[in-house]
Amino acid sequence: MTRRPSGCFARTDGGSDAEGPPLRIAHAIHEANEEFPGVELSQHRFVLSTQGRATVSAPDSTTARRAVAAGFAVVDSVELLLDRLNPGSELTRINRAAGREPVVVSPWTETAILAALQWAERSDGAFDPTVGPLVDLWGFGPSADPRIPTESSIAAARRHIGWDRVQVDTLAHTVFLPDSGMELDLRAVMKGFALDRMREAMLEAGATSGIVDLSGDMVFFGPGPESTGEAWPIELSNPFEPDRGFAIFQVPPGAASTSSSLKRQVTLGGRRYGHLVDPRAGRPIEPGLVSVSVFAESAMISDILATSLFVLGPLGGPEMVEQWPEVDAVFVTDTPPGTRSAVVVTTGLERYRQWIDPPYRPTERED
């Protein structure tokens, strides 16, 4: 009989948008396999600039090892396609050809870009994969040097923004950016896309169930742990105390992503800002939320929406999710020290709720 994963729950902790410990493991870089009795295998690796862990169940140990290896091999392929900081990636070739010529792309790159554009439209532009020039202008890009730009420079950068200007020819399989100042940035897509491909590769290699966590973005498939039947107990991390949880939802197989901004907030000109730039306004979001967790069947969708719902804020975010039957989310509001956050759970997720203890923001914490 195939063994199910034995852990009592999985925790999603804030992903690339948080600095808290994404996994409770001491050494994540290329650790040796930990093989459990029977057919369960867990492996930790450093992938996509983050800590990752994959645990699978399979009919036998050989199949389990093959499934984990196949899953992590897929991540390397995704990075070679979608990482804008990789000089040899397909995304880099698209950006370098901006304003000059279309670039022929692989099916995976085309799929990821089309999905990004679809959700840019569905979110009314709160998510925009062309926002890179504004992110860099405010110093939230690779330079990590936050600053207040001039109004004229903001206006100039905004002229190069616009998801609806990206041209994808699905017959010729090309992507073209018509403005030489435009660029695509798929950081809010890449981990989720990789997780979806990992799930496919692991199932194809013979895994019967499993869970993969890439620093807060996770996918879980097949039957859940033995104690929970078919469901997966997913614990959400407290944004103020990342080693503690504040909620558990027992959900069907699918995906979850958490975005947390607390440690990424900055003070510029006497005002606090979040680390995400609203593409529609050309400015960073002002704190209203400290975390957003999204549940969906696709990890790519949960990854994208964990970003865009942050931009939409504590009012617009829940309202938007209620229009999407395939998505649910948990919103945690910002709150002064010494008080508890409000927690908003969208309608479709309520039936999976096990418990919630609204996060308390300690007074002694230095923000």
**Nearest to 345, CA basis, from 299, 303, 292, 304:** 292
Domain boundary assignment for the chain: 98-183
Q: Give the whole-angstrom CA distance, residue 221 versus residue 202.
A: 10
pLDDT score for 275? 73
Q: Give the whole-angstrom CA distance, residue 182 versus residue 187.
A: 16
Q: Give the whole-angstrom CA distance, residue 263 versus residue 158.
A: 27
Residue 98 one-letter amino acid: A
Q: Give the whole-angstrom CA distance, residue 325 versus residue 341.
A: 26
Q: Which residues contact 146 (CB under 8 A, 6 or more apart)?
A: 138, 139, 140, 266, 268, 273
pLDDT score for 364? 64
The pTM of this model reads 0.86
Full pLDDT tens readout for the chain, 367 residues: 344 444 444 556 654 333 233 332 222 222 333 444 347 888 988 888 888 999 999 999 999 999 999 999 999 999 999 998 899 999 999 999 999 999 999 999 999 999 999 999 999 999 999 999 998 898 887 666 788 899 999 999 999 999 999 999 999 999 999 999 999 999 999 999 999 999 999 999 999 999 999 988 999 999 887 656 679 999 999 999 888 999 999 999 999 999 887 666 777 777 877 778 899 999 988 878 999 999 999 999 999 999 899 999 999 999 999 999 999 999 999 999 999 999 999 999 999 999 999 999 998 644 4
pLDDT score for 363? 87
Scanning the structure block, which residue is given the tokens 């907030």?
265
CA distances for 338 relative to 64, 121, 172, 239, 240, angstroms: 47, 39, 58, 14, 11
pLDDT score for 104? 98
Write down the H helix ranges in 44-186: 61-82, 90-96, 107-122, 132-137, 151-158
What are the tens digits of pLDDT across the range 3-36?
444 444 455 665 433 323 333 222 222 233 344 4
Rg of the chain, C-alpha, whole Å: 20
Superfamily of domain 98-183: ApbE-like superfamily (1.10.3980.10)
